[in-house]
Amino acid sequence: MALDEALWQNFADQSAAQAETGTQSAPILRFYGWQPAALSLGYTQRAEREVNFKACEELGVEWVRRPTGGRAILHDFAELTYSLVGSVEDPQFSGGVLESYRKISGALVEGLRLLGVEAEMAEKDRRGHADAITSACFDAPSAYEITWQERKIIGSAQARQRGVLLQQGTILLSVDVDKLFKVLELPARLDRAKTIAQVAGRLTSIEEARQRPVSFEEAQQAFIQGFASHFGQDLTETELTPTEAALALELQAAKYDNLAWNMERQRPIPAFR
């Protein structure tokens, strides 16, 4: 999380410096996994309400707050996480939050297609719908998130500052719903077994859609090709700069390794063009 924010902040710094010359840095696309498993909370979620701290400790699951919004996600070894940093003035991502979601989702759909999964974008935002009953990200799709047979397969969240967006997303290779609801607190009014069954019916994974497993490496290559094909440009692999690496360590110490910061509900980051 610290590295994603460092890339985001550094990109914004560079964009500000380039504004006078009319130049623009290339977007940054990153893929990664989690070890050990971790529960990530949206930027404004209340940790004391959402996290079962005892279960996390017993299962060896860490937890952290994301720099983006949305609901809680359990990240483990059967998942591919992506992050994307780019200018909101870049035609590839321009427009409001929903419009940029739509554009980025096209690349995600293409990546799934290359893996043999014919997915589509959700047409409506159902996060605030009455049947979205839990704090789990995959309980309900937002507009333009990715579904397969009307079940959510990729969940994403976006934040913007200084004219630069950061979008983070979870691509489910397989899924363990029972484990998710062990580390999440459920409202007392909900029947646990019924809730788990209901949410399980609303999400899916690449493994389930293809009826066979997919490796992290195979999925990563498919989505790299999907982004390149959708946006019509080749992607170049790069290394972290010393500035990005140093900033990531600073943010890790100040925020993401800081229990007090993770516990405190953060104010929304303004989303603007």
141, pLDDT greater than 60: no
Statement: residue 158 has pLDDT above 70: yes
Q: In the prediction, which pLDDT does 205 show? A: 95
The residue that leads in pLDDT, 105 or 19, is 105
- Check 38, 137, 175, 196 and give the catalytic one: 137
Which pLDDT band, with edges at 50, 70 and 90, does 131 fall under? low
pLDDT digits (tens, 9 = 90+) for 205-226: 999 999 999 999 999 999 999 9
> pLDDT per residue over 3-40, tens digit each?
999 999 999 999 888 877 777 889 999 999 999 999 99
- pLDDT per position as a tens digit, 45-93: 999 999 999 999 999 999 999 999 888 999 988 899 999 999 999 999 9
Write the secondary structure of the chain as one string of H (helix), E (strand) and C (coil): CHHHHHHHHHHHHHHHHHCCCCCCCCCEEEEECCCCCEEEECCCCCHHHHECHHHHHHHCCEEEECCCCCCEEEECCCEEEEEEEEECCCCCCCCCHHHHHHHHHHHHHHHHHHCCCCCEECCCCCCCCCCCCCCEHHHCCCCCCEEECCEEEEEEEEEEECCEEEEEEEEECCCCHHHHHHHECCCCCCCHHHHHHHHHCCECCHHHHHCCCCCHHHHHHHHHHHHHHHHCCCCCCCCCCHHHHHHHHHHHHHHHCCHHHHHCCCCCCCCCC
Residues 6 or more apart in contact with residue 228 via CB below 8 angstroms: 234, 235
Q: CA–CA separation, 56 vs 262, rounded Å?
A: 15
CA–CA distance, 173 with 206 (Å, rounded to integer): 5
Tell how far CA 201 is from the center of its chain: 21
Domains of the chain: 2-18+26-263 (3.30.930.10)
Tell me the Ramachandran region of residue 60: left when phi exceeds 0, alpha when psi lies from -120 to 50, beta otherwise: left
pLDDT of 137 > 70? The answer is no
Q: Quick check: 197 and 191 in contact, CB under 8 A? A: no
**pLDDT given for residue 133 in this prediction:** 52
The sign one gets for the Cα dihedral 205, 210, 215, 216 is negative
- Distance between CA atoms of residues 160 and 181, nearest Å: 30
Indicate if 137 belongs to the active site.
yes
